[in-house]
């Protein structure tokens, strides 16, 4: 899995959480450009993608990955899905997890 | 001589004033008339030339009252001399005949120049300039060539006498003259179309005269080209018709004078309430529908009647006349420069306007200040909104991110810890999640992300979903509205729903967003206990500045026992 979030401490915790659940974390990215480069380089099966990134928003990245038949995308945000309305459903992501509810079980529920 | 100042008698300067030319023109006319009689020229022809000459010199005197028409005045004064000069062809003297031949068409070129440069002496347009040059080339140039071959024994400049060549030159001149007449006709008609009302009033009769003369010329020249014969009756008629040009100039001036109202009538008219605005009253008094009134405020800026700032025009197609009271300028009239030709009218309107315009100016000043206050309030609200966005983003990027990371870390540790430690960690995580939830609500109240990203309908639907009672949302809003209106409408719905939840004891509520061509109407209705009103502590009262900055109106209908209806209307163009 690839973890995309501009907040380094969060990436570290997320990596630990995923790895302890048996996922292989292929890399981390702090913005959309790094994320797309890492997807091209490491071909992860899934991407844990923060909605709010410094260069582009996560919806745009998810849409681009979906159009290229790329990895499965799980969106995360410290906001609620409700704060984003229809954009969550429209961007081609597999699902949305509020960051505070992020757990191995929540990820597994979406990916399996 | 007794002591005292020697007062110089006013002298008339012949360089500036054609009035001295009047006796000269009369004398020249009489001399040419005598010549015609002596040489047995037809009386009708002599009469036509004298009538046209004297009409032109008469018009040049009437034009004296228009200072801006100086060049036109000189052309009017010069044309009769050219016309009478051409009549020297009647003389048996070789020298006079030759001079008369050379001058034959010059008067017509003068008339073309007069008409297409009227009134200020500058050609109206590039085609007008071409017409002037063509007229001089055709008349002076044509005669210069013609004099070399004219089959007349009096011709002193004849190189060869060739009747056929002279005839060809005549026909070429007639053809070119007909083309020029068409051109002048077109220019005159176009000029009538583009002139403003005051200028059309003063110049319209001249332009009509020009068009009639050009048509008469076309008939005459067409006849000459077609039959190769000069018919004196047609030629005389053409000259008689050309009198419509000086007569048109005089009629135009007379017409402008006739509609010049007396000062007393102006006072009545300018104070009349029949016509709504001072601008319209002044426009009517001056006969210039394009007139604008610029009120001068104490600090020197100009505003219109609604208090909106305006700049005084710099370009030549508008003129500005100041209106002053006791030496202090209180307003400026912006009008068609043609009105400068009626200085007495403008002066009487200006003097009368000074008596009645002061109240209007004060009202405009108050409106201007109100507009400034409103704009300033709008800027304050906008600055507040920008600050709200910044705070929301800081909360999200800062505290919220850290708490979220902490919450996930606690969850992770709880999964690894033994049961006792896991319980403590789980409780800590719950607390953190509650803090995150409260922080999220706070951030939403400060500036809702969904509103910024997806607009009013989506944001209001999210409000409805989060409300603890069923709320239906109906919206006819398509696309986005201005940020300030979206935000204000969102806050109105948010506050109204908060009131429903807190005070109405309602079982359901509805939100209606209606987009009309020039408004947005936001209505929040509930089926609760009613009896609500807006107190100074209520959240809706807190929105007052925001709504007033947008010219929005908020009303509440809340009869006891009949629910509450909060309605806000935002002016909002398409």
Task: Kindly report the nearest CA distance between residue A27 and chain B, in angstroms.
Answer: 18
B14 pLDDT more than 60:
no
Task: Kindly report the nearest CA distance between residue A110 and chain B, in angstroms.
Answer: 18
- Whether residue B289 is preceded by a cis peptide bond, meaning omega within 30 degrees of 0, is no
The domains of chain B are located at 18-258, 276-381, 454-571
pLDDT digits (tens, 9 = 90+) for A1-18: 999 999 999 999 999 999
The Cα–Cα gap between B528 and B504 comes to: 5
Q: Give the single-character DSSP code of B162.
A: -
Fold of the CATH domain B454-571 = Heat Shock Protein 90 (3.30.565)
Give yes or no for B475 touching A (CB within 8 A): no
Q: Which two tokens stand for residue B206?
A: 């001249």
Q: Give the single-character DSSP code of B338.
A: G
Q: Do A13 and B405 touch (CB under 8 A)?
A: yes
Instruction: Kindly report which listed range (B104-108, B113-117, B157-161, B556-560) carries the lowest average pLDDT score.
Output: B157-161
pLDDT digits (tens, 9 = 90+) for B507-541: 999 999 999 989 999 999 999 888 887 777 777 77
Taking contacts as CB-CB distances below 8 angstroms, the residues of chain A near B415 are: 20, 104
Task: Name which of A78, A82, A102 is nearest B400 (Cβ-Cβ).
Answer: A78
Q: Does residue B361 contact residue B306 with C-beta atoms inside 8 Å?
A: no
In order of B36, B38, B39, B232, B379, the CA distances from B43 in angstroms are: 8, 11, 11, 11, 83
Q: Do B401 and A10 touch (CB under 8 A)?
A: yes
Residue of B nearest to A100 (CA): B404
pLDDT band at B248 (very low <50, low <70, confident <90, very high): very high
Task: Kindly report the nearest CA distance between residue B331 and chain A, in angstroms.
Answer: 55
Q: Do A10 and B404 touch (CB under 8 A)?
A: yes
Q: Do A100 and B436 touch (CB under 8 A)?
A: yes
What's the pLDDT score for residue B1?
A: 37
What's the pLDDT score for residue B275?
A: 61
Task: Kindly report the nearest CA distance between residue B454 and chain A, in angstroms.
Answer: 8
The Cα–Cα gap between B181 and B167 comes to: 21
Across chain B, what does the average pLDDT equal?
85
Q: Give the single-character DSSP code of A85.
A: T
Q: Which secondary structure element, helix H or strand E, spans residue A73, and what is its range?
A: strand A72-77
Task: Kindly report the nearest CA distance between residue B430 and chain A, in angstroms.
Answer: 10
% chain B with pLDDT above 70: 93
Matching residue, tokens 């710099």: B314
Q: Which two tokens stand for residue B473?
A: 């949302």
Q: Do B433 and A100 touch (CB under 8 A)?
A: yes
Q: Do A13 and B409 touch (CB under 8 A)?
A: yes
Q: Do B408 and A80 touch (CB under 8 A)?
A: no
pLDDT digits (tens, 9 = 90+) for B452-470: 888 899 899 989 988 999 9
Determine the straight-line distance between the first and last CA of chain B, rounded to whole angstroms.
Answer: 85
pLDDT digits (tens, 9 = 90+) for B368-417: 888 888 888 888 888 888 898 899 888 888 888 899 999 999 998 988 88
Taking contacts as CB-CB distances below 8 angstroms, the residues of chain B near A17 are: 408, 411-412
Give yes or no for B400 touching A (CB within 8 A): yes
Task: Name which of B397, B412, B449 is nearest A17 (Cβ-Cβ).
Answer: B412
CA quadruple B434, B439, B441, B446: dihedral, nearest 10 = 170
Residue B153's contacts (CB-CB under 8 Å, 6 or more residues apart) are none
Higher-confidence residue: B308 or B187? B187
A interface toward B at CB cutoff 8 Å? 7, 9-10, 13-14, 16-17, 20, 52, 78-80, 82-87, 99-104
Chain B segment 406-465 residues within 8 A of A by beta carbon are 407-409, 411-412, 415-416, 432-433, 436, 440, 444, 448-450, 453-454, 458-459, 461-462, 465
Question: Average pLDDT, stretch B8-16?
Answer: 44
pLDDT digits (tens, 9 = 90+) for B315-370: 777 888 888 887 888 888 888 887 877 777 777 777 777 777 777 788 888 888 88
Task: Name which of B408, B444, B454 is nearest A99 (Cβ-Cβ).
Answer: B408
Mutation to test the A interface, candidates B426, B438, B450, B465, most A Cβ within 10 Å: B450
Q: Does residue B101 contact residue B90 with C-beta atoms inside 8 Å?
A: no
| Residue B46: half-sphere exposure toward Cβ, Cα within 13 Å | 17
Higher-confidence residue: A112 or B81? B81
User: What ipTM was estimated for this complex?
Assistant: 0.88
Taking contacts as CB-CB distances below 8 angstroms, the residues of chain B near A7 are: 401, 405
Task: Kindly report the nearest CA distance between residue A83 and chain B, in angstroms.
Answer: 5
Q: Do B416 and A20 touch (CB under 8 A)?
A: yes
Q: Do B449 and A103 touch (CB under 8 A)?
A: no
Which strands sit side by side in the sheet containing A2-4, from one edge to the other? A27-29, A2-4, A46-50, A72-77, A95-98
Q: Do A82 and B466 touch (CB under 8 A)?
A: yes
Task: Name which of A20, A78, A103 is nearest B404 (Cβ-Cβ).
Answer: A78
Q: How many CB pairs under 8 A join A and B?
A: 74
pLDDT band at B11 (very low <50, low <70, confident <90, very high): very low
Question: Average pLDDT, stretch B76-93?
Answer: 89
What's the pLDDT score for residue B9?
A: 39
What are the phi and psi torsion angles at B510 (to 5°)?
-140, 150
Q: Do B458 and A86 touch (CB under 8 A)?
A: yes
> What domains appear along chain A, each with residue ranges and CATH number?
2-104 (3.40.50.2300)
The Cα–Cα gap between B427 and B420 comes to: 11
Taking contacts as CB-CB distances below 8 angstroms, the residues of chain A near B397 are: 52
Instruction: Kindly report which listed range (A41-50, B27-36, B264-273, B419-428) carries the lowest average pLDDT score.
Output: B264-273
Give yes or no for B369 touching A (CB within 8 A): no
pLDDT band at B8 (very low <50, low <70, confident <90, very high): very low
Residue of A nearest to B464 (CA): A82
Taking contacts as CB-CB distances below 8 angstroms, the residues of chain B near A10 are: 401, 404-405, 408
What's the pLDDT score for residue B274?
A: 61
Residue of B nearest to A7 (CA): B401
Task: Name which of A14, A82, A85 is nearest B408 (Cβ-Cβ).
Answer: A14
Q: Do A82 and B401 touch (CB under 8 A)?
A: no
């Amino acid at each position: 899995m690839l973890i995309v979030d501009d907040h380094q401490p969060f990436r570290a915790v997320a990596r630990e959480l995923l790895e302890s659940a048996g996922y292989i974390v292929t890399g981390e990215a702090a913005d959309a450009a790094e994320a797309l480069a890492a997807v091209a380089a490491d071909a992860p099966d899934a991407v844990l993608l923060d909605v709010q990134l410094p260069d582009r928003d996560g919806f745009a990245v998810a849409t681009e990955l979906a159009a290229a038949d790329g990895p499965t995308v799980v969106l995360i945000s410290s906001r609620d899905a409700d704060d984003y309305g229809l954009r969550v459903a429209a961007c081609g992501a597999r699902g949305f997890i509020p960051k505070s509810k992020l757990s191995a079980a929540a990820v597994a529920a979406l990916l399996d | 001589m007794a002591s005292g100042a020697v007062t110089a008698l006013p002298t008339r300067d012949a360089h500036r004033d054609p009035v001295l030319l009047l006796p000269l023109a009369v004398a020249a006319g009489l001399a040419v008339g005598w010549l015609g009689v002596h040489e047995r020229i037809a009386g009708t022809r002599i009469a036509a030339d004298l009538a046209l000459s004297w009409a032109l010199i008469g018009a040049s005197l009437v034009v004296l009252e228009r200072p801006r028409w100086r060049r036109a005045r000189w052309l009017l004064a010069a044309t009769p001399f050219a016309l009478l000069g051409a009549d020297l062809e009647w003389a048996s003297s070789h020298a006079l005949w030759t001079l008369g031949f050379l001058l034959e068409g010059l008067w017509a070129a003068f008339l073309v120049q007069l008409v297409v440069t009227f009134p200020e002496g500058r050609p109206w347009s590039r085609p007008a300039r071409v017409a002037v040059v063509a007229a001089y080339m055709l008349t002076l140039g044509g005669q210069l060539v013609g004099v070399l071959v004219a089959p007349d024994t009096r011709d002193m400049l004849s190189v060869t006498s060739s009747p056929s060549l002279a005839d060809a030159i005549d026909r070429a001149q007639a053809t070119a003259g007909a083309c020029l007449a068409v051109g002048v006709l077109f220019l005159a008609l176009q000029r009538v179309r583009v002139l403003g009302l005051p200028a059309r009033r003063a110049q319209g009769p001249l332009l009509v005269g020009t068009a009639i003369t050009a048509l008469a010329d076309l008939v005459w020249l067409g006849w000459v080209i077609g039959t190769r014969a000069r018919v004196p009756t047609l030629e005389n008629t053409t000259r008689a018709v050309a009198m419509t040009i000086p007569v048109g100039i005089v009629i135009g001036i007379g017409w402008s004078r006739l509609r010049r109202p007396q000062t007393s009538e102006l006072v009545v008219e300018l104070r009349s309430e029949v016509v709504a605005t001072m601008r319209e009253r002044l426009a009517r008094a001056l006969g210039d529908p394009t007139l604008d009134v610029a009120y001068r405020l104490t600090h020197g800026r100009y505003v219109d009647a609604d208090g909106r700032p305006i700049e005084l025009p710099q370009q030549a197609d508008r003129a500005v006349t100041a209106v002053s009271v006791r030496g202090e300028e209180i307003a400026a009239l912006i009008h068609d420069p043609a009105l400068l030709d009626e200085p007495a009218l403008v002066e009487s309107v200006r003097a009368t306007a000074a008596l009645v315009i002061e109240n209007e100016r004060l009202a405009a000043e108050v409106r201007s200040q109100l507009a400034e206050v409103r704009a300033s309030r709008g800027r304050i609200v906008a600055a507040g909104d920008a600050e709200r966005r910044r705070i929301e983003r800081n909360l999200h990027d800062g505290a919220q991110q850290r708490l979220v990371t902490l919450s996930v870390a606690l969850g992770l540790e709880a999964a690894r810890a033994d049961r006792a430690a896991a319980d403590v960690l789980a409780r800590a995580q719950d607390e953190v999640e509650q803090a995150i939830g409260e922080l999220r609500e706070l951030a939403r109240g400060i500036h809702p992300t969904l509103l910024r990203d997806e607009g009013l309908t989506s944001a209001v639907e999210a409000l409805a979903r989060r409300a603890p009672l069923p709320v239906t949302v109906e919206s006819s809003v398509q696309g986005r509205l201005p940020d300030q209106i979206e935000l204000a409408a969102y806050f109105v719905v948010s506050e109204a729903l908060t009131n429903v939840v807190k005070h109405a004891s309602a079982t359901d509520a509805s939100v209606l967003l209606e987009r009309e061509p020039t408004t947005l109407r936001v209505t929040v209705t509930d089926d609760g206990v009613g009896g609500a009103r807006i107190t100074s502590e209520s959240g809706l009262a807190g929105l007052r500045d925001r709504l007033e900055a947008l010219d929005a109106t908020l009303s509440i209908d809340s009869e006891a026992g009949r629910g509450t209806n909060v309605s806000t209307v935002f002016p909002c163009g398409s």
